[in-house]
Amino acid sequence: MNQYSIAIIGGDGIGPDVVKEAGKVLKAAGLNYEGQEFDLGGARYLKDGEILSDETLEELRKFDAILLGAVGTPEVPPGVIERGLLLKMRFDLDQYINLRPFFSPTSPSGQAIDMVCVRENTEGPYVGEGGVLRRGTKGEVATQGSVNTRHGVERCIRYAFELAQSRPKKHLTMVHKTNVLTFAGDLWNRTFNEVALEYPDVKTAYSHIDAACIYFVEDPVRFDVIVTDNLFGDILTDLGGAVSGGIGRAASGNLNPTRQTPSMFEPVHGSAPDIAGKNLADPRAAIISAAMMCEFLGENEVAQKIRKALEITTAFVGSTTQIGDEIAQACK
Ligand code: IPM
Ligand code: MN
């Protein structure tokens, strides 16, 4: 087996706790890696002002992958750490796919949920286009645009088609709001239809984002692969977590499929400062993210071990460390 170098960013709140359990499980499952910890996040920013310097970013580029817990702390105004650290990594490392799988043995119809959301991860309203005029006055104006490039939309949609084609159901749903966001929606729609011609064996569907929210709650079994823009994907994947075992089990990979830069694996949940340090957080989202990392690195045997262990221990209830220990034990 290759030896991997993994950058570990525990971050804030429950982040370091859940990442520690993920490390425990990776070791138990036999991944041959060396982890290097990076002290980044809101707490670090409050210490010495560093969010993510160009030097640190250059250092991160040398790793095979990045494992991240969660970032953000209530003492720092919203956006500072999110934009300066998390989004900076996604954008600068061109992790253009945010892959978020959802499994659950049950659903409202009784069938299992097995769907995966392909969220565009470098464009949309996240790029920070816009500005403010006359701030704090009665005449204040704020704009916040959504940037959609043919290049960015097409590579995301193409990735989703490839993924759908590799799965038994071969079904891909595009989610957008083409009835209102007619400029971006038209670009997404045309690109989707054009790329679809290259994948005649993949069945396609379209859902407006509002309707997709109803289907996620009432009939998630209809979905296989979903492709959507950055902001719709953000919202829809919290809902995906909520309907499939809870946000404590929702994992993600921020992927650069070209492998020119490291991909980053992190739970969908946030830093949950209210329960930080209490040994209460479910580390499963971080552990599933670690399994996704192994799969992306091509270490399928290790990933299989972790997935099997997660299955055996799925009903196990305990503290953060107890769940980590239980899953690590089941890996051996
Ligand atoms: C997520 C998070 C981030 C996002 C925040 C923390 C910037 O909610 O990974 O879903 O909006 O992408
Ligand atoms: Mn989110």
Assess contact for 109 and 223: CB atoms under 8 A. Answer: no
Q: How far is ligand 2, taken at its centre, from the CA of residue 238, in Å?
A: 6
Of ligand 1's listed atoms, the one at least distance from the Cα of 266 is 9
Judge whether residue 324 has pLDDT over 80.
yes
Q: What is the pLDDT of residue 67?
A: 98
Which ligand neighbours the alpha carbon of 266 most closely? 1
110 or 175, which is more confident: 175
| Mean pLDDT (whole number) for 234-249 | 94
Confidence of residue 84 (pLDDT cuts 50, 70, 90): very high
CA atoms within 13 A on the CB side of 183: 6
What are the respective helix, strand and coil percentages of the chain, to the nearest 5? 45, 20, 35
Judge whether residue 7 has pLDDT over 90.
yes
Of ligand 1's listed atoms, the one at least distance from the Cα of 231 is 11
Spatial separation of the C-alpha atoms in residues 40 and 44, rounded to whole Å: 5
What lies within 8 Å, CB to CB, of 286 at 6+ separation is 18, 19, 21, 22, 67, 69, 251, 266, 267
pLDDT tens digits, one per residue of 205-226: 999 999 999 999 999 999 999 9
Q: How far is ligand 1, taken at its centre, from the CA of residue 239, in Å?
A: 13
Q: How far is ligand 2, taken at its centre, from the CA of residue 226, in Å?
A: 16
Confidence of residue 313 (pLDDT cuts 50, 70, 90): very high
Positions marked active-site = 126, 177, 210, 234, 238
| Atom 7 of ligand 1: nearest residue by CA position | 82
pLDDT tens digits, one per residue of 25-73: 999 999 999 999 999 999 999 999 999 999 999 999 999 999 999 999 9
Q: What is the pLDDT of residue 66?
A: 98
Confidence of residue 297 (pLDDT cuts 50, 70, 90): very high
Judge whether residue 194 has pLDDT over 80.
yes
Percentage of residues in the chain having pLDDT higher than 90: 97
Percentage of residues in the chain having pLDDT higher than 70: 100
Judge whether residue 1 has pLDDT over 80.
no
Q: What is the pLDDT of residue 32?
A: 98
Probe target for ligand 1 pocket from 40, 82, 235, 266, with the most ligand atoms within 8 Å of CB = 82
Tokens, residue 172: 């891909």
| Atom 4 of ligand 1: nearest residue by CA position | 234
Which ligand neighbours the alpha carbon of 69 most closely? 1
Mean per-residue pLDDT of the chain: 97
Q: What is the pLDDT of residue 108?
A: 87
Of ligand 1's listed atoms, the one at least distance from the Cα of 71 is 6
| Atom 6 of ligand 1: nearest residue by CA position | 82
| Atom 11 of ligand 1: nearest residue by CA position | 234
Spatial separation of the C-alpha atoms in residues 92 and 87, rounded to whole Å: 8
Ligand 1 environment, Cβ below 6 A = 82, 86, 234, 268
Which ligand neighbours the alpha carbon of 41 most closely? 1
Total count of residues recorded for the chain: 332
Of ligand 1's listed atoms, the one at least distance from the Cα of 72 is 6
Q: What is the pLDDT of residue 312?
A: 96
Judge whether residue 245 has pLDDT over 90.
no
